[in-house]
Structure 1
């Protein structure tokens, strides 16, 4: 985990006033991200009443420590990443969503990743709307 990345995530949180939805202003289109999220729905849920599925529910994921959603059994690799300080900033999420298994070797996430930068930015903006 890069200390500069952690510092960026903390600074971004402070600048955003602690409001994860402010992250959406950093790049993507949340409405377009809702469409991209269809690729994620088989394993993840967001919104009112969202529950863990094959993957954890993603309410409040932007700005959250990795491996910390309640009542979800994470891989040891994801739990370790969180314990080492990984916080899901937009930059960290972008890297993870590009190719999850390359970013965190040993993650349970079987999804190959989103190749298009615009799709990643849009889905991150969409996820940032859920606290």
Structure 2
């Protein structure tokens, strides 16, 4: 049940604000600065975390040049794909979704920020 709670809260929040569903890539680029110390969305290079270039639609833990935690490898081996719903849940609370992940980021609490970051990850060039 604790693993489902963040997802349920996110669904309630997103359901109450249908205007947020699309997200804004330009606003997402600004929010992504919180992620930029560890990730890039515009280059295939890994940093502390894996490159997020092309992440939407990509299977979890699939960047071959990155050393994922055992927890993230197990999550990926379960067939999870970084679609918008999965990414929304993860960005809300990474450790709640993938216990044991080495990602230390606590998560984004605002549904609009999550929608915006996803819009940016889908098309970083739209932020220009």
Which TM-score tier does this pair reach, normalised by the shorter chain? 0.7 to 0.9
Provide the C-alpha distance between the structure 1 equivalents of 2:118 and 2:34, rounded to a whole number of angstroms: 13
User: Per-residue deviation at 1:50?
Assistant: 3.8
2:27 corresponds to which of 26, 32, 36? 32
Q: Does 1:109 align with 2:107?
A: no
Provide the C-alpha distance between the structure 2 equivalents of 1:84 and 1:92, rounded to a whole number of angstroms: 13
User: Per-residue deviation at 1:68?
Assistant: 0.5
Q: Normalising by structure 1, what TM-score?
A: 0.76
1:119 corresponds to which of 92, 96, 113? 113
Q: Normalising by structure 2, what TM-score?
A: 0.78
**Aligned CA-pair RMSD:** 1.4
User: Per-residue deviation at 1:69?
Assistant: 1.1
1:61 corresponds to which of 43, 52, 55? 55
Structure 1, gaps ≥5 residues long: 1-25
Match of 2:5 in 1: none
Runs of 4+ that moved beyond 4 A: none
User: Per-residue deviation at 1:27?
Assistant: 1.3
Provide the C-alpha distance between the structure 1 equivalents of 2:33 and 2:39, rounded to a whole number of angstroms: 10
Provide the C-alpha distance between the structure 2 equivalents of 1:124 and 1:97, rounded to a whole number of angstroms: 9
Structure 2, gaps ≥5 residues long: 1-20
Provide the C-alpha distance between the structure 1 equivalents of 2:44 and 2:87, rounded to a whole number of angstroms: 20
Provide the C-alpha distance between the structure 2 equivalents of 1:28 and 1:115, rounded to a whole number of angstroms: 15
